[in-house]
Each structure stands twice: as C-alpha cells, then as structure tokens.
C-alpha cells in the first residue's frame, strides 16, 4: 500500500507536485528556502521573503546574493561554505541579519541536506529554515542578567551578615564586650532588612510582569498616608541627618479612590531613593488635589540625576555610573517596579532633576472605579524622566 502510494506520487505531473509543495511550505510560519547543490534557490515561501526583507522573486538566485548574515562577532558569514559544508541536519542560533534601515534581528537557521525530487534521480540540495528569534534572545539575555545581578546582590549581604554574626559569637566567647556585639548584630540586621527589601521587590516584580496582580480599590486618607510614611522613614532619614516632612498643597484635603497598597509602594520607592542619595538637607513628601485624582511628589536636596541617566532610570537593573551612586547598595529594580505599578494604576510619573541640586519625583494618580479592582489596565503610560536606582 505504501509502495503503491509512493509510486502514485512519483508519477504525478511535475507541475502538480511542485504546486502542492509550494502550497505546503507557504503555509509554514518559518521561512523556508530549498536550494540546489550550487546553493541557488529552487523553492521559497513568503515567510522567507519577510525575514530576508525582500519583495522580489529570488528563484535561481545564489544564496550569497540574497542572504548575508553576521556571526556573534559581527563578522560576515560565507553562506555557500556554511551550507555546502553541512552533511547532517544542523542548526545555529547565533547569527544576526542587518536590514537596510540599520535594524538587526537575531536569526535561527536550520540546514538539512535533502534530495530535491523523488527517487534516485532526485537532485541533491539543501532545505534551510529561517526564524526571527530576537524576542527569545532578548528574554534569554534578560534572564541571564537577572540571575547575575540577583545572585551578586544576594551574595554580598549574606556574606556580611554571616561575618557579623560570626564576629558577635567570637566576641561573646572571648571578651563579652556587649557594645561590639550590639554593633555586629546591628549591621547584620541592616543586611537582613536589605534582603527583605530585595525579596519584596522581586515578588512585586513577578506579579506585575505576569499581569496577575489584583488591585484592591479603597478610599485613601491622603493626609494619613503621608503621615504614616514620615513616621515609617523618619528614623532612617534622621540617621543621615536629614529632615523628612510632609504637607498638603492647597486649602482642601485631596480625595483619592485607588489601591493604597500600590500608591504606598510607589511613594516608598521614591522616599528610599531620596534618602539613599541625599547626603544633607531635606526630603519633602507632598500631595495636591488634581481633577479626578491626586498628584504626589517626593522632593530632595540630593545629588541629582544627569540628563542621560534620566532616560534610563526606570529600566530594569539600571544603575547610574556616578561614583556617588555606586557607593550605595541597590539592585536597580525599585524604580522599574514603580513604573510597572504606575501602569497598573493608569498613573503618570514625571521627574525634575538637576545634578548637585536634587530631584523631584511626582506621580499623578487618577481615581479608580471599584469595578476596576479585579481587572487592572496594563496599558503603558508615558514616563517622563526617572530617578536614581
């Protein structure tokens, strides 16, 4: 039965067989190129033309004339040599393709030697599959960077904590100096707090990026929220000699119906950044009623942010190269999470900053209907400027 079917297929008119083959490969999402032993195109599909960024017929053209990939070192690849040197099915994920407008894609290519016909008389050739894997590569690079940054950030506080606890144990055994023991335990405690903050950022980031973060909408006591933040971070600011205050702008008390959890999280990230990068002066948290919402601001007298860095601070893992910034610990996740939460709230973030004079981060938060609680809107909002990281 199988032999008979093969015989029937082989006896089909060449034109009909060719049309069926072309119809088959045109239904494929991957780019397909069938080339002869001299690497000239015999059959191709529309997906291949899209990847190669061409709209002209390429049949009988040499692969070198239509396909000029680069390797991971940005060196031109000899496609003819690559294909003709393939004796078994082979794939490669490290090639790139540059288009005429300067854009670049990451390319997956699979090459398989085949017979371009039926039976022993079939012509020797190759079938090449092409796929744009730029998005996959981007995710892989982001994953690798994430693992690298997080592992580094975890390693340092864990080592410091372990060392200080070990010192405390040693001091107790040898001298019993309680002041030194308290100092070691205090430093270990600070590192544990940093780890807790990191874990909180990672958990919040994971929920926000998966789009499964529920929003509990409630009426927010804006004045009470600001007073709560001053109370929670006042000691931390005082430890650096900074004055942390809050005030309401205008004569009337602002009213807001939104997620208190997320608004607080955003303001906390602004405040902790201000404390971290302000050496002297003050930090002010303010709120002002705006049409259908409230505008919150956190202003400091810190080191400020350069214009180039203002375009990057909301990017994942970004940390400024300013030497004053590198002295402070941080993962570069806080403001990225802030931007994610702002999108969930349909809020708008702005930044006004000048080097050596300070920064003001502001977020305009609209009122949300209670029906919005279980269906957060993840439509991106414009983010103007940024902060430290």
pLDDT of residue 13: 58
Q: What is the DSSP string of 319-363?
A: ----HHHHTS---S-HHHHHHHHHHHTT-EEEEEEETTTEEEEEE
pLDDT of residue 219: 93
> Are residues 329 and 355 both part of a single domain?
yes
How far apart, in whole angstroms, are the C-alpha atoms of residue 281 and residue 154? 31
Q: Dihedral through CA 9, CA 10, CA 11, CA 12, nearest 10?
A: 50
Q: Of the candidates 132, 148, 181, which is a domain's last residue? A: 132
pLDDT value at residue 376: 41
Supply the DSSP symbol for 180.
H
CATH code, 115 = 3.30.450.20
Same-domain check for residues 127 and 156: no
Are residue 243 and residue 354 in the same domain, yes or no? yes
> Could you tell me if 178 and 96 lie in one domain?
no
What Rg value do the Cα atoms of the chain yield, rounded?
30
Domain shared by 240 and 339, yes or no: yes
Looking at residue 325, what is its pLDDT? Answer: 58
SS3 272: helix
Q: Is 87 exposed, middle or buried (0-12, 13-18, 19+ CB in 10 A)?
A: exposed
99, 80 Cβ separation under 8 angstroms: no
> Residue 338 has which token pair?
């802030």
Please tell me whether residues 113 and 167 are part of one structural domain: no
Structural domain containing residue 149: 134-210
Q: Where are the alpha helices (DSSP H) in 211-333?
A: 222-238, 260-276, 307-310, 323-326
22 and 95, same domain (yes or no)? yes
Contact 280, 316 (CB under 8 A): no
Q: Are residues 90 and 157 in the same domain?
A: no
For position 145, which CATH number holds? 1.10.287
Last residue within a domain, chosen from 158, 183, 210: 210
**Inter-residue contact 256 to 293 (CB < 8 Å):** yes
According to DSSP, the residues that pair with 125 across neighbouring strands are 36, 114
- The reported pLDDT for the residue numbered 220 is 93
What pLDDT shows up at residue 5? Answer: 42
Q: Note whether 58 and 86 are same-domain residues.
A: yes
Q: Are residues 239 and 358 in the same domain?
A: yes
Final residue of a structural domain among 132, 162, 190: 132
Give the predicted TM-score (pTM) of the model: 0.54
> For the segment 311-352, what is each residue's pLDDT rounded down to a tens digit?
888 877 666 655 555 555 555 677 888 888 888 889 999 999
Measured between alpha carbons, how far is 321 from 313 in angstroms, rounded to an integer? 11
**169 and 254 co-located in one domain:** no
Please tell me the distance from the alpha carbon of residue 278 to that of residue 246, in angstroms, as a whole number: 17
Contact 107, 131 (CB under 8 A): yes
**SS3 category, 53:** coil
- The angle, 0 to 180 degrees and rounded to 10, between the axes of the packed helices 334-344 and 260-276 is 150
pLDDT attached to residue 2: 33
What is the reported pLDDT for 7?
Answer: 44
Residues 6+ away with beta carbon under 8 Å from 58: 41, 44, 49, 52, 66
How much is the pLDDT for 116? 63
Instruction: With a cut of 50, list the residues of the chain below it in pLDDT.
Output: 1-11, 119, 372-389
CATH classification of the domain holding 378: 3.30.565.10
- Please tell me the total count of domains within the chain: 3
> 84 and 138 in one domain?
no
Cβ of 111: how many Cβ atoms within 10 Å? 21
Whole-number pLDDT of residue 3 = 35
Q: What is the dihedral angle through the alpha carbons of 303, 308, 313, 316, rounded to the nearest 10 degrees?
A: -140
């Amino acid at each position: 039965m199988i032999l008979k079917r093969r015989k029937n297929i082989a006896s089909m008119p060449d034109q009909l067989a060719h049309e069926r083959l072309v119809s088959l490969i045109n239904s494929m999402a991957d780019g397909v190129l069938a080339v002869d032993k001299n690497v000239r195109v015999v059959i191709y599909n529309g997906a291949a033309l899209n990847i190669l960024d061409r709209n002209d017929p390429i049949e009988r053209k040499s692969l070198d004339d239509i396909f000029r990939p680069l390797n991971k070192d940005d060196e031109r690849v000899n496609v003819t040599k690559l294909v003709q040197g393939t004796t078994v099915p082979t794939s490669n994920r490290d090639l790139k393709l540059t288009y005429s407008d300067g854009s670049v894609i990451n390319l997956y290519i699979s090459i398989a030697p085949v017979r371009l016909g039926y039976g022993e008389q079939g012509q020797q050739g190759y079938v090449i599959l092409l796929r744009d894997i730029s998005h996959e590569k981007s995710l892989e690079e982001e994953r690798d960077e994430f693992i690298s940054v997080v592992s580094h950030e975890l390693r340092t506080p864990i080592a410091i904590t372990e060392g200080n606890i070990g010192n405390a144990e040693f001091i107790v055994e040898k001298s019993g100096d309680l002041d030194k023991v308290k100092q070691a335990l205090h430093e270990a405690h600070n590192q544990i707090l940093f780890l807790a903050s990191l874990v909180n950022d990672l958990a919040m980031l994971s929920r926000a990026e998966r789009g499964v973060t529920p929003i509990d909408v409630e009426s927010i006591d804006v004045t009470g929220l600001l007073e709560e933040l001053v109370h929670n971070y006042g000691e931390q600011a005082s430890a650096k000699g900074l004055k942390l205050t809050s005030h309401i702008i205008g004569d009337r008390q602002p009213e807001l119906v939104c997620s208190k959890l997320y608004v607080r999280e955003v303001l906390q990230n602004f405040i902790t950044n201000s404390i971290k990068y302000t050496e002297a002066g003050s930090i002010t948290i303010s709120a002002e009623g705006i049409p259908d919402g409230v505008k919150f601001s956190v202003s400091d007298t810190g080191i400020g942010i350069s214009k180039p860095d203002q375009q990057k601070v909301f990017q994942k893992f970004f940390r400024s190269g300013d030497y004053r910034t590198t002295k402070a610990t941080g993962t570069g996740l806080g403001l990225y999470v802030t931007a994610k939460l702002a999108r969930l709230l349909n809020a708008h973030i702005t930044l006004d900053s000048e080097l050596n004079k300070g920064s003001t981060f502001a977020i305009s938060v609209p009122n949300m209907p209670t029906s919005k609680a279980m269906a957060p809107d993840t439509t991106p909002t414009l983010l103007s400027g940024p902060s430290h990281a």
